[in-house]
Structure 1
Amino acid sequence: MSTNKYWQSFAELNDKARHEQRSQDEFGEQLPFEDLDDKGLLDAKTPRRDFLKYLGFSTAAATIAASCKMPVRKAMPYVNRPETVTPGVAKYYATTFVQDGEVVPAIAKVRDGRPIKLEGNTLSSLTKGGTSPRMQAAVLDLYDTFRTTHPKHLNGTKWDEIPSYEEFDRIVGQAMAGIAGKQVVLLTSTINSPSTKQVITDFIGRVPNARHVQYDAVSYSGMLLANEASFGRRAIPAYNFDRAAVIVSLGADFLGTWLSPVEFARQYSYGRKINEANPSMSKHYQLESILSLTGSNADERYTHRPSETGAVAVALLNALNGTAPNVGDARLKQGIAEIVADLKANNGKAVVVCGSNDPNVQQVVNAINSAIGAYGNTIDWGAPLMTKAAIDKDMADLVSAMNAGSVGALLVWDANPAYDYFNAKDFKTGIAKVPVAVSFNAKMDETTVLCKFVAPAPHFLESWGDAESRAGHISFIQPTIFPLFKTRPFQTSLLKWSGNNTDYDSYFRQFWSSRIGGELAFDAALQNGIWENGRSAAPATTGAPATMVTDTVNKNGTTTTYTPATTGGNAGSFNGGGVSAATAAIGGASGAGDEVVLYQSVMMGSGKQGANPWLLELPDPITKASWDNFAMISVSKAKALGIKLDSDYEYYREKPSIELTVGNSKVTLPVIVVPGVEANTIGIAVGYGRNAELGKAAEGTGANVFPFARFNGTTVDYYNKVTVSGKPVANDYKVAQTQVHNSYENRQEVVKETTMAMFLREPNRYKEQREELTKDYAKTSGDYRHEATLYATPDGKGGNVYDHGFPGPKWGMAIDMNSCIGCGACVVACHLENNVPVVGKSEVLRAHEMHWLRIDRYFVSGENNPDELKAVVFQPMLCQHCDNAPCENVCPVAATMHNSEGVNQMAYNRCIGTRYCANNCPYKVRRFNWGDYTGASTHGVLGPNSGVGKLDPVVAQMNDDLTRMVLNPDVVTRSRGVMEKCTFCVQRTQEGKLKAKLENRALTGDEVQSACAQACPTNAIVFGNANDKTSAVAQMRQNNPQRLYHVIEQIHTLPNVSYLAKVRNSKEILENKENMGEHARQDAHEGAEVTPGAHPAPTEK
């Protein structure tokens, strides 16, 4: 018998008593008493003096924070209102977010001529309205004051502004005339725009010695070359995770950053949703070196060195062919045997994916997928992905040609090899030898500052364009605002320089009108934003055949029908002739010593949004660190370095730092210890360590580790041998981590989790536990959920306050823990929608972050071996909008109160900042404005000392005139000294009611969506009118009584946010006995494992 622990920090795991004591501290920092008195005061033991000491500081801080006078501001009306703008009425335009190969069809919300929010386009059959954190945050990049504002020319050491593009074309033309006989190279990231591909083809055809090189910061060249060897096609097929009963990933973070994560997350979630009437779910195995977002969601997880990925793939292939796995680790060997058994049992219903960039490894994976019947079923060659086409050898050859002096002109767009190329040193040397180097990048990034000419391209929200994510799946880009600066599309420059005087806007329209079927057909496709398989997308319809899976949540007010992607056959028969040679070339592990592996985080990706404050402040889903990258190490490695994982390690922000050396590259990074990391592996996120020209937000944000990658002669490997300092070289680097200062104070039932085997055996276990927890209240108050509330309900129970004969809406939320992958899209969406302020690293270090919604991460380990990670659980946590809210009872001025629709609301101008409500909130979801983070109190004069203490410089950047254009005018900005929290997007519910009233109809239950629910790529969050029994939120609660629960509901807060317990398809049976520490404690017994695919897929309505 083993017992599982659920814990958030090592302090909670290893130093529980001291952690509980410190969690009572209001401030997550050491109080500055050293400057006030001598050491005797600090060492005082008298309770009275200690009390007065803390009371004096907290009272003074609160007084300073709350004592502010609201300035008078005047609204300036239009003198002549534009015909297309109606003040206060939003317009919506279809567009597409494209970055690092990720294509997300979107809808831009425009208020008073300003784009302020991006939502997913529900007409896309691939993403179904899902979003990602980077897509959500992209609107902030539009209003970045550090964008290049005009064309430039480097004159000696000084940049001269060029007054017009006609003059720019003349100067560049003169320079190009002097490079006769030399190469003209277009250097771009992968181009997945059909119209841009045609522009480039025309340019190369008309300009002598011109050629195109595609370069991706994070390469998939290994997959492309392997598929060319296996199928005769240099492309990447589409993956259908929704059709897979068994999913095996070899280091591929397909839920976070691998290929098309928004599309894959949506597919993955359908295999994880539980139909309680007939339960089944997919089985997910993850084999990796560090703890990735995808690995944290796996049912079974195994670790190995980065250099062993190929050996593990070969062991899987051999085991499928009847040979015993040849791996040293006993647990991994057993895991491979179990994986192979499941793969064989689910032939045609399984898929294996791999994150390696080695073509030999990818050929072995192709052979595995061929052996299990994946092609034509879970892998689709009929509509391959169009988002990755770069070949590493092409880039290496270009750098050699530049250094040899054979390149006369280099035209760079959407690429930054001076920062993210493994051999940036040689690239910098080479570009200095190129006579004409032109950058079309939007900012003065590391490559642009090395060029001689700059013609900044507009932001995608200012542009026309298109993107093809899969073959035949086109999404369009259209401008939502007139260009803010003197920018010009990259394509227009190519057209002009190749003798075509047409601008790209006209070219784009003519290009698609001729292909779609005329102007009217093009306008219809542009309005929808989608053109798939030769036809414009149609609005979603209602109803679904019994064989289809229906979306739990709609995002446009209708019930949409989801059909698993159709397969299109193979590119050709699988050619396994090269597999033997590939297997022989792989070999084994690299030997003893430490290895470093580079990965992309869901916040930064490759770093193209490296100065975006929303993304920098978004906590990493695994470590909860923000504003920096770090060295992710294992528990055993921490012990070898002499790092003590006690309460001090978590309580104090200063983290030990280690020195890492790969070849001639050396960096010093802070250490964050993460369970589940392979013992000799160090993981580091790329995308950090940027130059100051990108913006204030980018300064001092970690280190650039792209030089740690290596070129093997064919492709770039993102792992390497590394030399690590024998002990920490410093212990003073401050890492801004969230979550570790929150506490539930030993209350039970925060996290509920079971396994499929246990759920099948005892389906009513959690339902019975809920009844046991709440029976005392039911005895005294009747029905627990209704008669105890003051508000009228449709069944006639409840009180008569606000009872007008019809209950009206009661807003509620349901969160499916099985679907939440922890990506953070909801957190960023909440930032945008509700004007949640960015406070900067210095304030996050003081536990002053302002996120209304956080995603709590729980590690799961065994009681007897806490260093062995068993699983990870993510739980979105926001204001629970309790009907019996503890916060409402203690506010002395009634600044927080309940309305008739079940919402716990805030009156900001009534709040005096006592913070009693935050202290009394058992969920710790209220945030206090310690500083003037939004300029609400010091409008127009915001400076570094306008808050309590010194504010972070990024606060001033977020409050300049241009950046403030991103603010949502429907939501007031809060002033210093005011408490704030989730409002259930009250501005959206009010807008929905007004729209229904104007149309003389009743408000439907799913008509209004909160920002977090609308952004979620997996439909984990459902919002709506709980009083409408046909609404998605009511249906989710009604159809899932066995998993339904409310967080710490035994204290009778009556939350309006409900959760569905998490179910894993693992081989253990967990019995929930009692809590361990603050969170759930469960006894585990070995039991029968559920065979994947043994039950029919659920149908959700």
Structure 2
Amino acid sequence: MKTWKSLGERRGMVRARKAEFEDELPVGESVRQISRRDFFRFSGVGFAAGLALGCKSKVVEKAMPYLNAREGLTPGVAQWYATTCGGCAAGCGVLARSRDGRPVKLEGNPEHPVSRGGLCAMGQAQTRGLYDEDRLRGPKQAGKAVDWAALDADLQRRFTELRTSGGAIRVLAGTILSPTLRAAVQGFLGTFKDGRLVEADALSAAALAAAYEHTHGQRVMPHYRLEEADLTVGVEADFLGTWIDPVGFTRAYAERRGPDKPRPMSKHIQVESGLSLTGSNADERVRLAPSEAVPFLEVLARQLGLQVEGGTLPTALTAKAQAIAHELEAHRGHGLLLCGLNDPRAQEVVARINHALGHEGTTVDLARPSLQKRGDDRALEGLVREMAEGKVAALLLLGCNPVYEQPMVFGEAFAKVPLRVSLALTEDESAAACTHLAPDQHWLETWRDAEPVAGTVSLIQPLLQPLFATRDAVESFGAWAGRPVPALQALREHWKAALFPRQKALGDFDTFWNAALQKGAAQVEVGPAPRYREGRVEGAPKAARKDGYELLLYAKVGLGDGRHAHIPFLQELPDPITKATWDNYAQVSPAAAARLGLEQGDLLHLRPEGHVLELELPVVVQPGQDDRTVAVALGYGRTAGGKAGLSVGKNAYPWRTFTSGFLAAEASPLQVRRGSGRVDLACTQDHHSLEGRELVREMALAPYLRDPASARPHEQPGPSVYGEHLHGAHRWAMVIDLSACTGCSGCVIGCQVENNIPVVGRDEVRRKREMHWLRIDRYYTGSEAEPGVVHQPMMCQQCDQAPCENVCPVLATVHSEEGLNQQVYNRCVGTRYCANNCPYKVRRFNWWEYPHASELERLGFNPDVTVRSRGVMEKCSFCVQRLLEAKLTAKNEGRELKDGEAMPACMQSCPAQAIVFGDTQDPDSRISQVLRDPKRFLVLGELGIGPAVSYLTKIRNVATDTNQGGHHGA
């Protein structure tokens, strides 16, 4: 069955784009107008420029002596520290790599009980947030820089007045994962007669906790265990992409995704209106409009015997719900139903279904519930009401940006609060509206802790001294409460008093503390699980709309809620589904685009009913989307907080409103009006076209189990005119399991950070000049309305008979004795013959001096990797610097290199563990075993160039080959 990368490719109508090398010619010249003499003239200029740049790059800058090194620190030798990522509320465990006292790379911590070694794209990019030029340098008062003594004096005077008058003071925070910080905030608020903490999340899951408050008598959020689920059904829940804990969920999900796992392959059914990352990985997918999601769940519940009213759907959707109910019944006790709607009725229906099917205690863990989303929308709505009525005398903002990410009524009410204090790292939209700024420290600069799941506590430790005159939030609240203590002291005191007594494994506190510090996490006891309470589902049934367009707001894998929009790495990360960068847009289905007369990039005016705000957005025509749904991403349209995020996209947060106490916008009736212009999106889905060749393979589980050999391609590798290379002690190779890879793109940013790969910007991406050494190709199969999706990571294939090596006139690309295709930057003069000759289109030409950023931002560069200059060709090297480091360590210790010690950045933090890398010269290595897998195939193996990267056929858990389970051969 045919695969296709985009609608344009499928229809043979790929819009002509400016070629990558088009702008290298003088203005007015074309390829046909260049004479032989001009060719040599231009070539000579390029060669001379290359020599000049080479000379320029050798200028010696002033060296700074390293006089006061930390004890135990060896210059040039990396040190690793176990800590906890503070990029979002998931609380993933990380290992931070520090060189000469500065963190340069983050990896997942395999010993962390929740994330278990994975790390997402946002987590990989956190070092860039640390070295951000737009961070606040110190405190401010009334817009002017002050020192901490002056700020504290003014705030203490105001707080004393409030304590005397009894005025209301509130702290508004995003989910506080840190028990120590929570205790400091509560201690501060306890000094006032009317003080209260309100937690609210931009991407709210408050309805889920509220539903369990009704069904179990306690406001908790279950910790879902996907590794125990034989069947997972997701309803508008992008649990592999952005919902609650995507890294932890991906790690658990991948344990059961494949025919060769220790336990039988699980099945995944996704019900959604827009094609999400999670939906793209499903075995079966059901499309519906946003307003049909709650009725769908009601039908599902009634089919399973629950007394639930409502649930009127079209006949086809009703049949789908009944079929899914039958499958859930067949997997009683080992199934799982997930729902991402912030709707209390929907979440209560799901909670009662999971209880009725016996999922509690297996796939639904209430004994150790999740603490990753503790926001309460009803408390936030109450705070807005209090502020609007002038009842709040002071509001402190911690880890949130409500003026940007909450409904418009918040900003209007916020202006009525006399004392407004922000602890943000940057002067974001909310900080700009505050009277006082008391900037917190970046999580890589401070001591703190986290409890993402009840009973799992982890430490955050600083890797460097604070870069600016900022102060830890724990110290700020302690100072304002009249009990100033250093953050480390506060942390140890809280652990000794509150956490150490909750464990019995270790007898003294210092041993407990040191063990947690070394491992990164510790386990402590928790209270009893809440008990189920019978009752009727609250709320009135919701009717599905039969016509008209509906709005769906969603979050992207790269930007999430938008707090990291100032990090350009994340702006330039191609969305796993649309492959667009540097923008948000309105996604419509191919049928809706045809009905509205729209093409990719056409402008569309959108306004939900009841709103005055109208946004004009470019259109992305998205296969697999519901025909009445218009999907718009959140996290864009920033007006403050960092240069990279300014004027990028439009802010759709104001479209959300409080509905019955919960933030929602889904299912809103939408007024749609076509605009007059169009936008050329920076979209990579048609870049590097491979001219219709079939590059991915997939098949159904049932035929594979009957005959595993059927997954192996029948084609034989093509002949080569060159002899085989003789390899030395090592021969490196990689295998990628397409059944496990979810396309999350964490490997893309991990590779970018590790190898100092520059960001090029929107215009250069439009010219096909993105610099990512690793890309993830997204292929569709089947129809435009119901496509299957396969994600395929693509990097330099390290070919044995590499076509690039044969054409380089200066031997800048050569073959190593360990099987690596090496790029010698000092030799490269930028002829780009190698790029033209590469069948995989994985080589990148550096057009500008991209990496030469500010002095602060350069602190984040990996010193083990050369920073390339303009005019140099570059590409993946299997992270050769890591291979050399592992071999050197083994040599210094007088032993052989062990399997698994050398691994590239893409492999190390892959949440799905989809990548296997190793030495094929070792017959007992894991890579040698995987190379014998019957599902293994080569991309373009018929060319006879011997790639060292191979793939395992994607297996879908369906009985027979369908549009989403066909077998596609190269």
Q: How does 1:734-773 map to 2 (within 5 A)?
A: 734-748=680-694, 750-767=695-712, 769-770=713-714, 772-773=715-716
**What RMSD, in angstroms, separates the aligned Cα atoms of the two structures?**
2.7
Deviation string, structure 1 residues 193-245 (Cα, Å, up to 9, x no partner): 11122212222222231111111111111111110111111011111111111
Q: For 1:810 and 1:816, locate their aligned partners in 2 and report how far apart those are by CA, in whole Å.
A: 20
**Displacement after TM superposition at 1:1021 (Å):** 1.0
Distance 1:77 1:27, change over 3 A: closer
Which residue, 629, 643, 646 being the options, matches 2:584?
A: 629
Q: For 2:35 and 2:378, locate their aligned partners in 1 and report how far apart those are by CA, in whole Å.
A: 67
Give the TM-score taking structure 2 as reference length. Answer: 0.94
Matched, 1:707 2:662: no
Deviation string, structure 1 residues 78-127 (Cα, Å, up to 9, x no partner): 25241433211111111111344211111111101111011111111221
What is residue 433 of structure 2 aligned with on the other side?
450
What is residue 420 of structure 1 aligned with on the other side?
405
Q: What letter matches 1:294 in structure 2?
A: T
Distance 1:31 1:656, change over 3 A: farther
Q: How does 1:579-598 map to 2 (within 5 A)?
A: 579=537, 581-582=538-539, 585-598=540-553
Percent same amino acid at aligned positions? 38
Q: What letter matches 1:643 in structure 2?
A: L
Distance 1:65 1:295, change over 3 A: farther
Q: How does 1:45-194 map to 2 (within 5 A)?
A: 49=33, 66=50, 68-69=52-53, 70-71=55-56, 72-74=59-61, 76-78=63-65, 80-84=67-71, 85-154=73-142, 159-163=143-147, 165-179=148-162, 180-194=165-179
Q: How does 1:51-450 map to 2 (within 5 A)?
A: 66=50, 68-69=52-53, 70-71=55-56, 72-74=59-61, 76-78=63-65, 80-84=67-71, 85-154=73-142, 159-163=143-147, 165-179=148-162, 180-275=165-260, 280-321=264-305, 328-422=313-407, 424=408, 426-450=409-433
Q: For 1:665 and 1:60, locate their aligned partners in 2 and report how far apart those are by CA, in whole Å.
A: 56
Q: For 2:490 and 2:697, locate their aligned partners in 1 and report how far apart those are by CA, in whole Å.
A: 56
**Displacement after TM superposition at 1:890 (Å):** 0.6
**Displacement after TM superposition at 1:642 (Å):** 1.0
Q: For 2:703 and 2:368, locate their aligned partners in 1 and report how far apart those are by CA, in whole Å.
A: 39
Q: How does 1:1085-1096 map to 2 (within 5 A)?
A: none
Contact 1:361 1:586 (8 Å CA) reproduced: no
**Displacement after TM superposition at 1:400 (Å):** 1.3
Matched, 1:600 2:555: yes
Matched, 1:853 2:777: no
Q: For 1:1068 and 1:57, locate their aligned partners in 2 and report how far apart those are by CA, in whole Å.
A: 61
Deviation string, structure 1 residues 975-1027 (Cα, Å, up to 9, x no partner): 11100000010100101111111000011121111000002001001111121
Q: For 2:685 and 2:393, locate their aligned partners in 1 and report how far apart those are by CA, in whole Å.
A: 53
Contact 1:115 1:481 (8 Å CA) reproduced: yes
Q: What letter matches 2:65 in structure 1?
A: Y
Distance 1:842 1:208, change over 3 A: same
Secondary structure in 2 matching 1:339:
helix
Distance 1:1059 1:53, change over 3 A: farther
Secondary structure in 2 matching 1:461:
coil
Secondary structure in 1 matching 2:277:
coil
Q: For 1:1030 and 1:1020, locate their aligned partners in 2 and report how far apart those are by CA, in whole Å.
A: 19
What is residue 953 of structure 1 aligned with on the other side?
none
Q: For 2:869 and 2:382, locate their aligned partners in 1 and report how far apart those are by CA, in whole Å.
A: 56
Q: For 2:545 and 2:966, locate their aligned partners in 1 and report how far apart those are by CA, in whole Å.
A: 45
**Displacement after TM superposition at 1:931 (Å):** 1.1
Contact 1:607 1:686 (8 Å CA) reproduced: yes
Distance 1:1060 1:323, change over 3 A: farther
Matched, 1:980 2:874: yes
More deviation, 705-714/918-927: 705-714
Q: What letter matches 1:857 in structure 2?
A: R
What is residue 811 of structure 1 aligned with on the other side?
732
More deviation, 382-391/967-976: 382-391
Matched, 1:502 2:485: yes
Matched, 1:530 2:422: no
What is residue 20 of structure 2 aligned with on the other side?
27
Contact 1:819 1:1018 (8 Å CA) reproduced: yes
Q: What letter matches 2:643 in structure 1?
A: K
Secondary structure in 2 matching 1:374:
coil
**Displacement after TM superposition at 1:822 (Å):** 0.4
What is residue 898 of structure 2 aligned with on the other side?
1004
More deviation, 491-500/349-358: 491-500
**Displacement after TM superposition at 1:722 (Å):** 4.3
Q: For 1:486 and 1:739, locate their aligned partners in 2 and report how far apart those are by CA, in whole Å.
A: 44
Q: Which blocks of at least 5 consecutive residues in structure 1 are unaligned?
A: 42-46, 536-567, 650-654, 782-786, 793-806, 936-958, 1082-1101
Distance 1:52 1:219, change over 3 A: farther
Which residue, 665, 668, 676 being the options, matches 1:721?
A: 668
Secondary structure in 2 matching 1:428:
helix
Matched, 1:36 2:28: yes
Q: How does 1:1042-1053 map to 2 (within 5 A)?
A: 1042-1053=934-945
Q: For 1:604 and 1:995, locate their aligned partners in 2 and report how far apart those are by CA, in whole Å.
A: 37
Give the TM-score taking structure 1 as reference length. Answer: 0.83
Q: What letter matches 1:27 in structure 2?
A: E
Contact 1:148 1:444 (8 Å CA) reproduced: yes
Q: What letter matches 2:614 in structure 1?
A: K
What is residue 756 of structure 2 aligned with on the other side?
835
Which residue, 8, 31, 36 being the options, matches 1:11?
A: 8
Contact 2:777 2:792 (8 Å CA) reproduced: yes
Q: For 1:964 and 1:730, locate their aligned partners in 2 and report how far apart those are by CA, in whole Å.
A: 40
Q: For 2:441 and 2:955, locate their aligned partners in 1 and report how far apart those are by CA, in whole Å.
A: 46
What is residue 915 of structure 1 aligned with on the other side?
832
**Displacement after TM superposition at 1:482 (Å):** 0.1
Q: For 2:360 and 2:832, locate their aligned partners in 1 and report how far apart those are by CA, in whole Å.
A: 59
Q: Which blocks of at least 5 consecutive residues in structure 2 are unaligned?
A: 501-507
Distance 1:762 1:151, change over 3 A: same
Deviation string, structure 1 residues 237-276 (Cα, Å, up to 9, x no partner): 1111111111100010000111111110001001102218
What is residue 503 of structure 2 aligned with on the other side?
none
Contact 2:955 2:965 (8 Å CA) reproduced: no
Q: What letter matches 1:860 in structure 2?
A: T
More deviation, 60-69/205-214: 60-69
What is residue 724 of structure 2 aligned with on the other side?
789
Distance 1:766 1:107, change over 3 A: same
Contact 2:172 2:198 (8 Å CA) reproduced: yes
Q: For 2:725 and 2:233, locate their aligned partners in 1 and report how far apart those are by CA, in whole Å.
A: 50
Contact 1:6 1:1080 (8 Å CA) reproduced: no
What is residue 613 of structure 2 aligned with on the other side?
665
Q: For 1:48 and 1:197, locate their aligned partners in 2 and report how far apart those are by CA, in whole Å.
A: 69
More deviation, 921-930/401-410: 401-410
* Count of residues in correspondence between the two structures: 953
Q: What letter matches 2:271 in structure 1?
A: L
Which residue, 1031, 1056, 1066 being the options, matches 2:948?
A: 1056
Secondary structure in 2 matching 1:629:
coil
What is residue 798 of structure 1 aligned with on the other side?
none
Deviation string, structure 1 residues 1019-1051 (Cα, Å, up to 9, x no partner): 00111112112222222223x2x2011111011
Q: How does 1:539-550 map to 2 (within 5 A)?
A: none
Contact 2:787 2:964 (8 Å CA) reproduced: no
Which residue, 886, 891, 897 being the options, matches 1:992?
A: 886
Matched, 1:678 2:626: yes
What is residue 698 of structure 1 aligned with on the other side?
645
Distance 1:51 1:356, change over 3 A: farther
